[in-house]
Amino acid sequence: MKKAVFSFKFQVSSLLMRCVFILAFSYSHILTFSQASSPYSRFGLGYIHSPVFSANKALGEVAAPYASGININYANPASYASLTRTTIEIGMNVEGAKIRAGDSTYTANQAGINHFALAFVPTPKRNNFAFSLGLLPYSHINYTFIQNFNDTALGPFRQLYSGKGSLYQVYIGGAYKVKGFSIGANLGYLFGKLDYQKAITFPDSLYASTTRNITSMNVKSFIYTVGVQYQKLIFHSSNEPDARTDIFMTFGAYGSGGMKMNAKVSNYWDRYTIDPLLGVLADTIDGDFNKKATVNLPFNIGTGVMFGNERYWLLGADFKFMNWDKYSTPLNNGGLSNSWRISFGGQITPKYDEVDKKKYLSKVQYRAGVYYGKSEINFNGNQLSEVGGTIGLGIPFKTVAHLNLTGDFGSRGGSDKATIRETYYRVTFGFVLNDIWFIKRKFD
């Protein structure tokens, strides 16, 4: 009987692992179609994705001190040591933005897979070691600008600026805990391609030659993050047997140094004409291909503190900083400023161990948060601000899975009409499976 039970557990684990690798293989192709358009993505490496997963997002993205037993916190790898069960998470996003430029507005919407991660806890009884691996986006660009002109000699012509592409990161990390102190690290591999194009077209001339400049940057490089956490019990009632009344204080910090990434850059000019019978006829005028280059990433740090007990309530604050003024790239699209963000978030679970099905809502984790900061982007001499709020739910399904549902509503830009302003929403679905097969039961 025990052999049969073990065989069943192994088969289920094997099936899940196969699904994991199939999703990982197809992930980059799926994500290619899920990048929203943003005019600010033309700066730097594009729109930088937040490294926090579904549970942290609902806390205003508080990540440095967040140590969960059931949710993966990729941003601070030291948190892996607090996991009590092997965990799988697949995150999906639905995003939309209303973009105002002068007196004009337009909207952009998208949906797709956002991240995929696994965390393994080899020794759940001791709960002091775990490691994780996964795949998630790092940045993307997706923009198009068109300017129309009328020259007395050339006639009507149009200047077009566009960009498209994504960078992704695959990672493996681990953490170890001793007497409340955890240390961890993620080692990642960053890869992807960013394409930029500038062109001059003559829309009223069918056979006119169009001149364009195309620049592509392929990135393949290792990156890393290190993190620490320290958790201490600061309140315990000897008269109250319920462990939910215990209050912990958790300090956390993470960061990575300024790294030099390897890249290959191609830059060339060509001319093309559009023939109704023969299609697009193009020839390359001049160019350089696959030249080795270096991209200097900024260093980043995050730190914070959290109070409470995950089984009852949590309240925390977080601060993160990136020195983008040290960023450099062969594409000459720097000129960025140091970015920072401060976040506050909280969570409450009325009855974590409620068994009465009629009181199901008391087992749900209710989350909320706010954040404010400065983006790395300067526009018309002004550094853009970012402000927003989050709400979320952690919805349990028996003891093996739960759904983290998060809404993020905010804006980025300035108040004057000369500055492009984005008002956005992001809805994140985090499907989390907690593996209980390694926990020894009294009855099989």
What is residue 282's predicted lDDT score, i.e. its pLDDT?
62
CA atoms within 13 A on the CB side of 44: 30
Pick the closest to residue 223 from 77, 46, 120 (CA basis). 77
More reliable by pLDDT, 12 or 44 = 44
Answer for the pair 190, 203: CB distance below 8 angstroms, yes or no: no
DSSP 26: H
Determine which of 117-121, 151-155, 426-430 has the lowest per-residue pLDDT on average.
151-155
* pLDDT for res 145: 76
Tens digit of each residue's pLDDT (9 = 90 or more) over 89-103: 999 988 888 877 666
Q: What is the pLDDT of residue 90?
A: 93
- Segment 348-376 mean pLDDT: 86
**Which of 355 and 328 is assigned the larger pLDDT?**
328
- Per-residue model confidence (pLDDT) at position 10: 41
- At residue 340, the pLDDT reads 95
Q: What would the mean pLDDT of 320-347 be, rounded to a whole number?
A: 86
**What is the structure's pLDDT at 442?**
46
Residue 318 has pLDDT above 80, yes or no: yes
Which pLDDT score, from 0 to 100, does residue 34 have? 44
State how far the alpha carbon of 186 is from the alpha carbons of 132, 169, 436, in Å. 8, 11, 25
Q: Which CATH class name applies to 2-435? A: mainly beta
pLDDT range class, residue 274, cuts 50, 70, 90: low
Q: Environment class of residue 240 by beta-carbon count within 10 Å: exposed (0-12), middle (13-18) or buried (19+)?
A: exposed
Per-residue pLDDT for 18 more than 80? no
Enter the tokens of residue 47. 């729109």
Q: In sequence order, which residues have a C-beta less than 8 Å from that of residue 132 and are 6 or more positions away? A: 72, 74, 77, 80, 117, 118, 119, 120, 171, 172, 173, 174, 186
Closest Cα partner for 79 from 189, 247, 225, 190?
A: 225
The pLDDT, as a whole number, for residue 66 is 97
Task: Give the CA dihedral 66, 72, 75, 79, nearest 10 degrees.
Answer: 50
What distance in Å separates the CA atoms of residue 119 and residue 86, rounded to the nearest whole number? Answer: 5
Residue 76: what are its φ and ψ, rounded to 5°?
-115, 100
Least confident of 31-40, 112-121, 173-182: 31-40
What residue ranges do the domains of the chain occupy?
2-435
Residue 286 has pLDDT above 90, yes or no: no
Are 342 and 319 in contact by the 8 Å Cβ rule? The answer is yes
What is the percent of the chain where pLDDT is above 70? Answer: 79
Give the mean pLDDT of 396-425. Answer: 83
Q: Which pLDDT score, from 0 to 100, does residue 342 have?
A: 97
- Work out the pLDDT band at 356, boundaries 50, 70, 90: low
**Mean of pLDDT over the chain:** 82
What average pLDDT score do residues 352-381 get?
84
Note whether 319 and 336 are within 8 A (CB). Answer: no
pLDDT (0 to 100) of residue 333: 62
Out of 10-14, 172-176, 380-384, give the one with best mean pLDDT.
Answer: 172-176
* DSSP secondary structure code for residue 328 in this structure: B
**Distance of alpha carbon 68 from alpha carbon 395, whole angstroms:** 15
Give per-residue pLDDT as tens, 210-262: 777 888 899 998 999 999 999 999 988 777 667 788 999 999 999 998 788 88
Q: Tens of pLDDT along 53-108? A: 999 999 999 999 999 999 999 999 999 999 998 999 999 988 888 877 666 777 77
Q: What is the pLDDT of residue 113?
A: 83
Cα separations in angstroms, 126 against 71, 73, 309: 18, 20, 19
In the prediction, which pLDDT does 353 show? 72
Average pLDDT over every residue of 267-275: 73
pTM as predicted: 0.85
Whether 191 shows a pLDDT value over 60: the answer reads yes
